[in-house]
Structure 1
Amino acid sequence: MRLPDGEDAPSDGRLPASAAIGAHTRDFGVYLHVPFCRVRCGYCDFNTYTSLELGGGGDQASYAATASSEIAFAACALRASGVPDRSVSTVFLGGGTPTLLPPGDLAAMLGAVREEWGIDDDAEVTTEANPDSVDAADLEALAAAGFTRVSFGVQSFVPEVLATLDRTHDPARVPLVLRWAREAGLAVSLDLIYGTPGENLADWRRSLEGAIGLEPDHISAYALTVEPGTALHRRVSRGELPAPTGDDEADKYELADELLAASGYDWYEISNWARTPADRCRHNLAYWRGADWWGIGPGAHSHVGGVRWWNVKHPRAYAARLAAGQSPAAAREILDDDARTLEDVLLGTRLAQGYELVRLAPSARAQVAGLVREGLATLDPERGGRLRLTLRGRLLADTVVHRLTA
């Protein structure tokens, strides 16, 4: 994962005055990045590290305290910037594998968020987990600490596909951890990946049916991207594995939508389906709707009022900045009107609720009739008119966004 370029971020973490404008009307969430994995999966380009790669600072044993110090730093920086205090509506722990840390460490980080900002009584508090990274006692401890939801990285129910992805868990364990999570009172999401080299349509059907049969509250299905610099990319480049194709991934997306819809899951974002509106991932919805969030951890990204910044990547550099009382931000950007409009269209059109026509520029509205005629979108006349992607439009979402923003 390469961090983007940007302007220098101030060492005190202060934001421009524009970030405070309208803040009281926007939800505020916290993302906590836990950058540790037992092994690095061959397809992954996230900012993650195994225990053998770290030492001397930023390691697993000290991570909860280091992340908690950024939480305290963030609260001070927001107040110094004139951003009003807001309680947190969503918390999401991602990685990496957050549950490689003991439940007490995850509880400590959540406690730091609660102490600095407060957490809404009905907040959604999620942690990602691998099926082999938790047991029943861990899940009970997380629920007792205030977690409400767990998202299991299942990826596939086919052992050969998991082996290609370098995933280490046994698919037979997934029903067990899902039952433990439910017994602890946690909502459950399952993450799947399609398009793995060598995966055929029957394999993908098997994974979908395996996930649906467990009746989780939420299912995500993401197309595999072969990222440069990963072990998988090297294997594909050497011809050891076939590269994913757009036609294959389109067929698999269509199968996912068909089977999930038939089983009572409604799509609410291109890659996400939920049993009921209450089961949708509120944290991710906040991203797509342009809310504010502070990203804690090495390489984490944040956004407040049109200001976006990202932390230094390496855990040792991250820990050293905080120990010196400095912002861990590597750089930042202040979005201008054009950039904010592009993001608004890019993210807003992904949602099943549709995109309000009145928010489109006149030149973009002129494209709408063509998008409808070509079967990429429909128009919902309610609430002032909304442009909604069809199934074909979801497969060609980048084309739709280009047409609306060119």
Structure 2
Amino acid sequence: MRIHWLYYLLLLLVTSCGSTIAKDPLEQVLASQDPKIKRVMDNLKAHEVQIRYTQIDRNKEGISFTDYDFQVNKNHYFYPASTAKFPAAVATLEKLNEVDTLSLHTRFFIEGDTVETTFAKAISEIFAVSDNAANNRLIEFLGQDDLNRRIRKRGVAPIRIAHRLSAPDGDDVTTKPLILYLNDSTTCISKPIINTPPQPLSLKKIKKGRAYYADGELVEEPFDFSLKNYFPIEAQSALMKRIIFPEAFQEDERFNLSEEQHAFLLEAMHTLPPELGYDPEEFYDSYVKFFLFGDRTDPMPDYIKIYNKVGYAYGTLTDCAYIRDTKNNIDFMVTATILVNSDGIFNDDVYEYDEIGIPFLAQLGRELHQYELQRKR
């Protein structure tokens, strides 16, 4: 009897030791002693970190994904900021593909605006430098209801895009008309779209901090995000998978994009600002590429392509990326968010983006890249 119990005791010890050793990849990476990682992990509650790392494998059956999550919870709210531009770009391409008279290169301007652009230019600006005005023009084209419907229809959920970004009329539920050039001499005006007013989100962490500024005055109460955009980690990752690897999904989960549109979108997602003519001193390669290179301003190596969309506002940094290293023949996905607002005050423009947030995401990318280099496939 004693031998029997000793056997089970030894088995328990071996199992316990094995579980300690056999950490999942994110546990290994986040146990790094690099100060960029450690200072965040030592203060996790303040930073509200959420991470999904996706391994990509290929076999005779096709593409397979293995997700590893750290604190991912769709019920724990974080402000998605400019990551919301990613679904706007995808939904715009799908709508264009359904209107015979419009294309990527159709010229247009918003009624009351003086800036003429094209859908291709707006989407390129969204990914290259995260241009807010370009995104808002797409919202006027789509309307919030149609944008959300198109994304949810393909199984990307939950998502709620409710407003434009950094615009005085950002919450307006009625879109402005577009003046569209059908050819050199013919224009048409789109009709305004009336959208459903957003209802307050009922989520954990929807109120943040201890105070915020409004109209130059300090308000001593938490900042309420309940009427803001909502685009959690799960949905961001799901959208990225469908765009990078549409063949891995059933037809009804794929976006209705032409080959030309899909190729254009992929190109836009990894094109660096200097390649579009932006000043490389101000808009350096990693200007909106947080993983691996975000804390550096030197040129990125040609053999690494990062297809991504970042967001940063209200002290929250988020990046959703597919990373491909052609030199070492590896690729993976990672979506992560972090809050860096040590004083707990929102709208004061005092956030630790450069000191804590971007270095953490950059090092996280490097650690995962190193892990992928060693991973058996």
Task: Normalising by structure 2, report the TM-score.
Answer: 0.28
For the pair shown, the structure with the greater C-alpha radius of gyration is 2
Higher relative contact order (CA 8 A, sep 6+): 2
The structure with the largest helix share of the pair is 1
